[in-house]
Amino acid sequence: PHRADLLSQLLDFGLSPSLCLRLAEAAANEQHPERAWRLALETLGRSLTVTEDDILTQGGVVAMIGPTGVGKTTTIAKLAARYNLRHGPHHVALVTTDSYRIGAFEQLCTFGVIMDAPVRLVRTAQELREAITGFSDKSLILIDTAGMGQRDLRLSQQFTLLQDAPQIRNYLVLAANALHAVLRETVAVFGRVPLSGAILTKVDETTRLGAALSAVHEKRLPLAYIGNGQRVPEDLLVARIDALIRMGEEFAGLYGEPAEHDALALTFGKRLVNHATC
């Protein structure tokens, strides 16, 4: 029953059923269980892409977008602090479009004071363009957007604001501890604006990485950074595929419970599982 065992392992990794089937198919000719597992993970790794630390290397105008509570503001603080450490002070400016959440501007101002970075609140596309122009002497402008649910009717206003400034590179911030269905919907909705990459946060709060990896895989969205804690700027890692796969394996080993045959049949369909055990 090698294929059923492999499907069980991949499901335990947290991957979506459709991706599990594709990876199991890629390893179908390998009879040795451990080699089949390694081949499946290698196939997964080849299907993922990363951005190679582009924000901290290239600078530019960068916006963090995503739902409420995923850690956009904290991620901006980490990136700004890292940029200061690498390039020296006075190169970063902070902008927020979040006039909805109480204390959002004040929180960003606190980070700005700590890092000696100017902060501006904008409410319209015109104000955003003026802020970007006004900070033309800065090599990195980080934009903190309002956190909204993927079904919030105000999202279209947010998208219009960002699309009116074409030089902005948008990065989708995703919480790694969210369910795959939620992540998939989030990527689909926020993908209505051009996305340069994704940042995974709350990696320290999840027991599975597979759901997040499945979501970015489905949309061919490159990964930029990994947030694995609240410390600024320490808890931010440049996304590396081999490290992500290794981390996912560790989580599955610590928290995983192999799926029983009946559970596999419910997930993949009895015909597929019965075929896998032949």
User: Where do runs of H (alpha helix) occur along the chain?
Assistant: 2-12, 17-26, 33-47, 54-58, 72-87, 104-115, 125-134, 155-163, 180-190, 210-218, 241-255, 261-268, 270-276
CB 76 within 8 A of CB 111: yes
CATH of domain 54-239: 3.40.50.300
Strand partners for 200: 174, 226
Report pLDDT for 43. 95
Strand partners for 44: none
CA distances from 218 to 22, 47, 153, 211, 256 (A): 12, 10, 25, 11, 23
CA distance 124 to 117: 22
Sequence ranges of the domains in the chain = 2-48+252-276, 54-239
Taking only the tens place, the pLDDT of each residue in 114-142 is 999 999 999 888 899 999 999 999 999 99
pLDDT tier, 165 (very low <50, low <70, confident <90, very high otherwise)? confident
Model pTM? 0.88
Q: Which residue has the tokens 């700027």?
A: 233
CB 107 within 8 A of CB 61: no
Taking only the tens place, the pLDDT of each residue in 7-33 is 888 988 999 998 999 999 999 888 898
CA distance 172 to 219: 12
Report pLDDT for 31. 85
How high does pLDDT run on average in the chain?
Answer: 86
Taking only the tens place, the pLDDT of each residue in 29-70 is 888 989 999 999 999 999 999 998 889 999 999 999 999 889
pLDDT tier, 150 (very low <50, low <70, confident <90, very high otherwise)? low
Sheet hosting strand 92-96, strand order edge to edge: 119-121, 92-96, 140-144, 60-65, 168-175, 197-201, 223-227, 236-238
Number of other CB atoms surrounding residue 194 within 10 Å: 11
User: Is 278 a residue whose pLDDT tops 50?
Assistant: no
Report pLDDT for 107. 84
- Closest residue by Cα to residue 112 from 133, 130, 138, 136: 138
